[in-house]
């Protein structure tokens, strides 16, 4: 997928590169057995240092997504890539949880991070509508979402921020479908720690996804919850769906 070469300083550079490569593996752009471009080529493409790139590759290697062979290069592994694709099919279970974030915390307009600019295909930095919703729970049971809206939805921003069933109101505007989704583990910065009432620096799971309206990116959502791993329940053979 096309990404801007100018990575946004709001996110640590190695996590941005890691997320881009993780997306390419999950989307099948990089398939099991494929060799990634050389480190020199990746550094030139993303404009990062050798240390930053190696941090990103080490994170992917820890998750079993790539195998780094000295003198041969970095290869996408088969097993965990298939697991990643299966995980993407089941991410709907987690996205459905966003509906429990019923308390509107704040809203407004802001220039989003680069990851959102790319996901919404904005073509550059600009202020767009956003809103934040939280669950009533705090600490380990907390959940919060920050949702950015494409500029053409600005006139509907108030309704979309107020409506509990975001999907329902979006469906009144056109044909809704689910775009790509990706997951990362992060540490709670002061704003996230305050929002979720968790200790500063504790582990958070950050799930991103894109909603499409008539095939075009309409909203990009970040869901945060305490923890650093995904647990999906896969029905046993013979269980009812």
pLDDT value of residue 204: 86
d(CA 117, CA 153): 15
Question: What tokens does 4 get?
Answer: 């801007």
pLDDT value of residue 70: 80
Question: What tokens does 134 get?
Answer: 């939280």
- Could you give all domains of the chain from N- to C-terminal order, each with its CATH number? 13-89 (1.10.10.10), 94-226 (3.40.1410.10)
Question: What confidence tens digit (pLDDT) does each residue in 130-189 have?
Answer: 999 998 777 777 889 999 999 999 999 988 888 667 888 888 999 988 788 887 878 888
Sign of the four-CA dihedral 64, 69, 26, 52? positive
Q: Is the pLDDT of residue 237 over 70?
A: no
Q: How wide is the angle at C-alpha 180 spanned by C-alphas 234 and 90, nearest 5°? A: 5
d(CA 130, CA 105): 11
Classify each residue of 96-127 as buried b or exposed e, where b means 16 or more C-beta atoms within 10 Å of its C-beta. Answer: eebeebeeeeebeeeebbbbbbbbbebeeeee
Q: Is the pLDDT of residue 220 over 80?
A: yes
Average of per-residue pLDDT values in the chain: 80
pLDDT band at 121 (very low <50, low <70, confident <90, very high): very high
């Amino acid at each position: 997928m096309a990404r801007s070469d100018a990575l946004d300083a709001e996110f640590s550079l190695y996590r941005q590169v890691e997320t881009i490569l993780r997306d390419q593996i999950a989307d099948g752009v990089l398939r099991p057995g494929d060799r990634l471009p050389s480190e020199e080529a990746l550094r030139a493409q993303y404009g990062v240092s050798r240390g930053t790139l190696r941090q990103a590759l080490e994170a992917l290697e820890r998750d079993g997504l790539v195998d780094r062979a000295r003198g041969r290069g970095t290869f996408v592994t088969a097993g965990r890539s298939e697991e990643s694709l299966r995980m993407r099919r089941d991410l709907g279970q987690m996205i459905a949880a966003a509906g429990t974030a019923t308390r509107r915390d704040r809203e407004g307009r802001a220039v989003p991070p680069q990851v959102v600019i790319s996901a919404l295909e904005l073509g550059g930095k600009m202020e767009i509508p956003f809103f934040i919703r939280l669950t009533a729970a705090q600490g380990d049971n907390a959940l919060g979402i920050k949702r950015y809206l494409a500029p053409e939805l600005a006139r509907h921003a108030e309704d979309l921020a107020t409506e509990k069933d975001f999907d329902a109101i979006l469906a009144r505007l056109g044909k809704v479908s689910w775009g790509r989704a990706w997951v990362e583990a992060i540490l709670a910065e002061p704003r996230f720690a305050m929002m979720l009432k968790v200790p500063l620096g504790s582990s958070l799971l950050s799930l991103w996804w894109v909603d499409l309206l008539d095939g075009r990116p309409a909203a990009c959502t970040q869901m945060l919850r305490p923890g650093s791993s995904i647990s999906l329940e896969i029905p046993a053979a013979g269980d009812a769906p």
